[in-house]
Structure 1
C-alpha cells in the first residue's frame, strides 16, 4: 500500500456505487420524499430521476475510512484532494492572520481576527522528507540544510510569498522530531510501565507500534484481532497537530478552525491519518463535542509534492540553498513550548541502529537497558533484512525483554497470523485449532515479544511512497542516471537518503556534545519530556490522555450484504401472503 501507492498509479480505481452505506446527513429544504425512497450517491455530475428530490450525498474522506466497501484506490483518489494545489489555494484565499508580539507585558495580539476568512498558517516537517530532499540536492547536502531550504520556501520572501495573491506564508515551521521524542517517551512508558494516563486504554502485550497509518488502516480493515495490541500513543504527526492547535488556540484566542496546519511527510498514507475522525478537536476539546470536529492536521503533502509546490510558484527548489539568510521565526506564544519546539541546543542525532522510522523499538530497548545496569542488547537476524529480533539480557545471561521489527506487508502478514487467537473446537474435549495453536518448543515457540515495531514500507520510512524516487526525472537529471534505473541504482539511491537522514552539520554536532542530562536515553531526557507534557496539559486545561492518546476501531462494511433481520423477513413474508402477527 504505502511504498507503492501514488496518485499516478491508480489504474484499478473503482468508484463508490449506489450500495455505498454513507447516509445523507443534510438534506436540501424541499418537500420530504415518500417513505421508503432511498438516496443514491450521484457521481461525476450524473443525474437521476430521483435526484430531483434529494441532492447527491456528500461523502467525506472520513466516511470512506469508516467503510471497507471500496478499494484502497478510491481512498487514494479522495486523499489526492490533499495536495500542493490545496496549499496554494488556501494561501491565496484571504490575507493571513498576523501575530504581533510579544509586547512589554509579554502578551501577543492577533491582527485580522474580525475577518473570519483569514487563517493562521503553521507547518511541521518530518526528518525523512528533509533527507529525501537533501539526497536530491546532492553535493553533500545535509538534512538540516534541506530543512532550512524548506523554511525559506514556506516562510521566506522569495518562497511561496513571492507568487501569492496576498503574499501569505507560514508563521511557524516546526520539526516533527520534537513530537517524535515525546512519542518515544510515552511509548516506552506504555510498554514498560503501562499507560501513564490512567484513563487511557492500555493495549495488550505484545504492543505494536501505531505510527504507520498504512499498517493501522490494514489492521482495522483486515485483521481486527490485532487492534487491542496497537499502541495508543499518537504518531508524531498527530501529536504535533494537537499540540499546535491546542497551544495556539489557548494562548492566542484563535479558534482551531482558523489555524491551518500543513504537515510535510514521506508517506501518502499520512493523508489518511490526517483525515481520521479520532484526530480532531471533537476528541480533545473541553466539553467533548459531538459533531465532527476540526482536523488537527488540515493538509498533508509528501516530499515529491514539495517540488510540485515550488514549481507552481515558478521557483526552483534547489536554488533555495543560496537564497540568502534563513527567515527568523517569531517566538512561540508559550515560553515552555517554545523551548520544546525550538530547543536552544541542537538535538542529538539518533544512532544508526535506531533505523530511519523514528527509533521506537531502539528507544524501548535502550530504556530497558538503562533500568537494568550491566545488561546488554543482542540482535537475531530474521528470514530477511526487514525482520529482526532483539533481546535484552542480564549480566547473568537471562532474557529480560524480547522485541522485534517487522517491515513490509509480506512480513506483517506473518506477524498477524501469529497473533490470531485460537478457535475453540466444537468437539467435546477437543483442542483449540487454527494459526494460533503454536508449538511449545522450537524456534516458533509462542509470541513472547513485549514490543514490535511495525512499518508498512520495506526499509522503513525513508522508503515511503511519497519520497522522491530514483526514477523520478529530477533525480535522473541531477544524478546523470540512465532513463530506467535498475535495482543497483535504486539501492544506491536509498543509501544516499539514509545517509542524509543521519547527517548533521559539524557545528551542530559539536554543540550537541555539551551538557547532556543525566537521565538521557539516546539523547532524550524522559524527565524533561514528562515535565513538558505536564505543562501542556495544565496550560490547555485538557487531560494528557485526551491530548496524547488515540483509539482504533474495526471497520465493518455492509456493502453487498443482506441487511434484513430475521424479524423483518418474517414481517415481509407475512405481508406478501396477506397474514400478520
Structure 2
C-alpha cells in the first residue's frame, strides 16, 4: 500500500512524517550459539531490495541468510505512542484493495451456503472526488449521484458485491445521536464526566492525536460513533436481521477519503467477540477504489442505464423483510460543511429548540479552516451558543489550548505547543473582554476537511505541448504538474462537486425512526420494564464508543511535532 498523500508533503507541518519511533523492533528469537573466533557478518542488499546477512570479507564461509522483513499490524500501530497521524503510513497488509479482491475471489468459489454476503458502503466525499476527476477529464459535469450509480453497477456486475450503499443515511443516524449526546452534556453539571465543550469524534486522526498526546481532552470528545462505524452497526445488525444472516456471515467493505479510517475500523471497540467479526471488515481509500477500477478496465466516464433517475422510496414498507440498495435513502443532502455537518446539526437544534429567535454570526479566525459561530438572542444580543469549525493540526493545537485554558485543564505540549499557547494567550489578552467559552467544536485533522483527506484522488495530470510544439503527457515523464495532495484549487473543485448533490424530499427521518425501533425496544406496554431506560442503554451501546489514553513509552526525543 502506498503512503497517503499527507505524508509526502514538504511544505506543510499539519501532518507528521513517520519517525524511528514508529518502527517495531524485530522479535529477538533464540540465536544459534556463536563459535569462538568465528567471522563477523554484515548486511547486504541485492538488486531486488532483499536484505541478506552474509559473512564479512575474509571469512571462509560463503553462505548467506535472508532476513525477514519486520511486520507491523494494526493492533501494534494502535498500541504505539510513537506517532500521531503517521499511523496511516504503516504498511497495513489486511486493509488494502488487494485483500478485498482476494476475499471476493475466494468467496465466489464457495458453495452458496458457505458464502458470505459482500456489502460495500461508500462515503460521499469519495464520490465527490471521483466525480471531480471524471468531470476534469471529460469536461462534462458529472455528479456524485451518477458516480454512485456507475460504481454500483461495477461493484455488483464485475466484483460480485451483493449490495452497494453510500454512507449518508448512517451519517443521519450519527448526527441524531450527536445532538442527543450534546443535550445530555448540556443538562449535566460541568464537573461531571461528560463535559462541554463537546468536541467532534468522527475524525480518527484527531482521536489518535488526542489519545496519544492530549489525554486531558478525552472527557470533552463526543462518544458518538462516526458514520463509517454507524454504517457497520447497521450492516452487521439491522440489515443482517433483515437478510436472515449472522454478523459473521457478512463481509463489509468501506470506501473512505482517509487512511486513518483503516485504523478506526480496527479498534477493539468495534469488534464483536461473540461472532468474531468487525463492524467494518476492510477499509479502502478513494485512490484504492480507483486502482480497482483501473485493474478491471472499468471506465467511470461511461454512463450507465438509469443513472439520472431518482430512486423511489415509497416501495419500502415498515413490515418489509428484505433490504436492497434501493431501500435506503440515497445521498441525503444537508447544510453545513462537507465533513459531515456536525456543527450545523448542533446549531440547527439549538435554534429550533430556543424559546426566542436567535441570530447566527460567523467569524473567520486565522483562515477558512478556523471559524467561530455564535448564536445570539435577537432581542438583546446575549450569546447563548458558541461553536467553532477547526480543521488541520495548526488550528487544532490552538483550539486544544483554548479549551484547556477555559476549562482549567493543564494541556500537555512540547516546545512548539508552548509557542502556540503563548501566541494564543497574547491574542486573548489583547481582546480584553471576557469571552464565552466554546460549547461545541467540529474538529478534523485534514486542512480543508474530509474532501481533502489523504486517501482522496490527486488532481489529474496536465497534458500540454513542449517548447517544440509536441503534445506530451507529462505523467509519462514523471512530471505531474499541480498533481499533489492538498492542492487548494483541486480541493475547491471537489468541494463544489460534493455540494452538487441536489436537495430532495425523502423518507430519511421516518426510516431513521423505524431503524431505531427495530434495533432497540420501544414498546411500553409489556410488563413493568422501563423501556425508556432500556432504549437509551441500547442506543448508546449501538451508536457510541469509548476512548483511552495511550501511555508514551518512547525514550528520548524520537517524536517530533
The TM-score normalised by the length of structure 1 is: 0.69
Match of 2:23 in 1: 16
**How far apart are residue 487 of structure 1 and its match?**
9.5
Give per-residue Cα distances to partners, 1:477-523, cap 9 Å, x unaligned.
799xx942289993332222111111136xxx5xx25x89xxxxxxx
| Equivalence for 1:76 | 89
Match among 208, 213, 216 for residue 222 of structure 1: 213
Matches within 5 A, 1:177-576: 177-194=168-185, 203-282=194-273, 293-319=276-302, 321-322=303-304, 335=319, 342=326, 349-351=333-335, 354-372=336-354, 373-396=356-379, 397-420=381-404, 421-422=408-409, 442=431, 445=434, 448-470=437-459, 483-485=480-482, 490-504=487-501, 509=503, 512=504, 525=509, 529-538=512-521, 543-560=538-555
Whole-Å separation in 1 of the counterparts to 2:295 and 2:453: 23
Partners of 2:154 and 2:298 within 8 A in 1: no
Q: Distance in 1 between matches of 2:473 and 2:321?
A: 42
Alignment CA distance shift 1:437-1:86 (3 Å): same
Q: CA deviation digits over 1:280-330, x for unaligned, max 9?
A: 214xx6xxx8xxx421111111111111011222333333x2478799999
Q: C-alpha distance in 2, partners of 1:144/1:210?
A: 27
The Cα shift of 1:150 comes to: 1.2
Task: Quote the residue 2:161 is aligned against.
Answer: 170
Query: Relative to 1, partners in 2 of residues 1:329 and 1:504: Cα closer, same or farther, differing over 3 Å?
Result: closer
Give the superposition deviation at 1:535: 2.5
Instruction: Tell me if the contact between 2:129 and 2:494 (Cα under 8 Å) persists in the aligned partners.
Output: yes
Q: 1:258, CA displacement in angstroms?
A: 2.6
Q: Which deviations, in whole Å up to 9, do the C-alpha atoms of 1:455-497 show, x marking residues without a partner?
A: 1111111111111111557999799xx9422899933322221
The answer for unaligned runs of 5 or more in structure 2 is 10-14, 30-49, 54-67, 412-420, 465-471, 523-533, 557-561
2:457 and 2:229 mapped to 1: Cα distance? 23
* Superposed CA RMSD: 4.5
CA distance in 2 between partners of 1:296 and 1:344 (Å): 19
Tell me by how many angstroms 1:419 deviates.
2.9
Q: Distance in 1 between matches of 2:90 and 2:257?
A: 18
- CA distance, structure 2, for counterparts of residue 232 and residue 11 of structure 1: 28
Provide the C-alpha distance between the structure 2 equivalents of 1:342 and 1:129, rounded to a whole number of angstroms.
Answer: 20
Match of 2:415 in 1: none
The DSSP-based 3-state class of the residue aligned with 1:260 is strand
User: CA offset at residue 191 of structure 1?
Assistant: 1.1
Residues 152, 326 of structure 1: 8 Å contact kept: no
Q: Secondary structure at the match of 1:219?
A: helix
- Cα separation, 2, equivalents of 1:559 and 1:80: 25
Q: Specify the alignment match of 2:35 in structure 1.
A: none
Instruction: Give distance in 2, aligned partners of 1:337 and 1:214.
Output: 38
SS class of match (1:498): helix
Of residues 249-258 and 392-401 in structure 1, the stretch that sits farther from structure 2 once superposed is 249-258
What do the CA deviations read for 1:59-88 (whole angstroms, capped 9, x no partner)?
631232022146765653233541211111
Residue 385 of structure 1, CA deviation: 1.3
Give secondary structure in 1 for the equivalent of 2:400.
Answer: helix
Call closer, same or farther: CA 1:222–1:13 in 2, change over 3 Å: closer
C-alpha change, 1:477 and 1:307, in structure 2 (3 Å) is farther
* Counterpart selection for 1:129 from 95, 101, 126: 126
Offset at residue 203 of structure 1 (A): 2.7
Q: 1:269 to 1:5 in 2, by over 3 A?
A: farther
Q: Residue 449 of structure 1: SS of its match in structure 2?
A: coil
Change (3 A) 1:446 1:409: same
Where 1:551 maps in the other structure, the secondary structure is coil
Q: Distance in 1 between matches of 2:89 and 2:462?
A: 23
Tell me which residue corresponds to 1:106.
none
Report what 2:416 is aligned to: none
Q: 1:224 to 1:529 in 2, by over 3 A?
A: same
Counterpart secondary structure, 1:264:
strand
3-state DSSP class of the match of 1:232? coil
Query: Which residue number in structure 2 is paired with residue 565 of structure 1?
Result: none
Separation (CA, whole Å) in 2 of partners of 1:296 and 1:472: 37
Task: Tell me which of 66, 70, 90 is aligned to 2:103.
Answer: 90
| C-alpha deviation, 1:112, in angstroms | 2.8
Alpha carbons 1:19, 1:559 under 8 Å: kept: no
Deviation per CA, 1:380-437, whole angstroms, max 9, x where unpaired? 221211111111111212211111111100000111122334559xxxxxxxxx9899
Counterpart-to-counterpart distance in 2, 1:534 and 1:214: 33
Are the equivalent residues in 1 in contact too, given 2:242–2:323 (CA < 8 A)? no
Provide structure 1 residue ranges, at least 5 long, that are not aligned to the other structure. Answer: 25-43, 48-54, 98-110, 161-168, 425-433, 517-523, 562-581
Q: Secondary structure at the match of 1:94?
A: helix
Task: Calculate the TM-score normalised by the size of structure 2.
Answer: 0.71
- The answer to whether the 8 Å contact 2:19/2:83 transfers is no
**405-414 vs 328-337, greater mean Cα deviation:** 328-337
Note if contact 2:216-2:409 (Cα within 8 Å) is conserved in structure 1. no
Structure 1 residues 308, 528: CA separation in 2 closer, same or farther (over 3 Å shift)?
A: closer
Using a 3 Å threshold, how does the CA distance of structure 1 residues 252 and 489 change in structure 2: closer, same or farther?
A: closer
